[in-house]
Amino acid sequence: MYLNCEIKIPVIKGKVFRQTIKGITYIYYEYDREYLPEKKYNKPKRTAIGKCCKNDPGMMIPNENYLKFFPETDIPEESGCERSSCLRIGAYLVIKKIMEDYKLINMIKEIIGQDSGLFLDLVAYSLITKNNAGQYYPDYTYNHPLFTKRMRLYSDAKISDFLREVTIEQSAAFLNE
């Protein structure tokens, strides 16, 4: 899922590459290299971090991978209407109050770290919709308030990546608390 903003293409010598596929120029970031001893050369590991803007070749439209590899970058406010003008806040307030009373918000921040807001959003999503299918989470975020920083909207791919990164140790630490 591409973000609805334009940013400058990072300039990192030997790490950022352009590749044109079917008339669209994608920006790739090389995050690692794997040495293949049988072939005696390095194989680069690359992932797409965005696509080049048509009107300005120095700018790109970032995707979720860009946020993963460049988390310190300030993303400009997204233009357009990404959220409903009427948020359904009732259940959110009840869940937030319960989480605050049981001190779950601080506990999750210590265990999960940076993505603790996303974890809390997934908890609220599961409780409110009585569903745990990640592909419907973006639809839920359209008209519900979120615990993530600046109520950032994430794609179902980000949800899958996040759930895959939650370790057994983090689960055990949560249960022990």
In angstroms and rounded to an integer, the radius of gyration of the C-alpha atoms of the chain is 19
Measured on CA atoms in the order 160, 164, 167, 172, is the torsion positive or negative?
A: positive
Length of the chain: 177
**What does pTM read for this prediction?**
0.54
Most confident of 2-6, 36-40, 139-143: 36-40
Q: How far is residue 71's CA from residue 147's CA, in Å, rounded to a whole number?
A: 18
Give the angle subtended at the CA of 96 by the CAs of 94 and 102, to the nearest 5°: 105
Q: How many C-beta neighbours within 10 Å does residue 73 have? A: 12
pLDDT digits (tens, 9 = 90+) for 65-89: 888 888 777 776 554 556 777 888 8
Query: Do 137 and 125 meet the contact criterion of CB atoms below 8 Å apart?
Result: yes
What is the tens place of the pLDDT at every residue in 39-75?
889 998 989 999 998 888 888 888 888 888 887 777 7
Residue that wins the pLDDT comparison between 83 and 101: 101
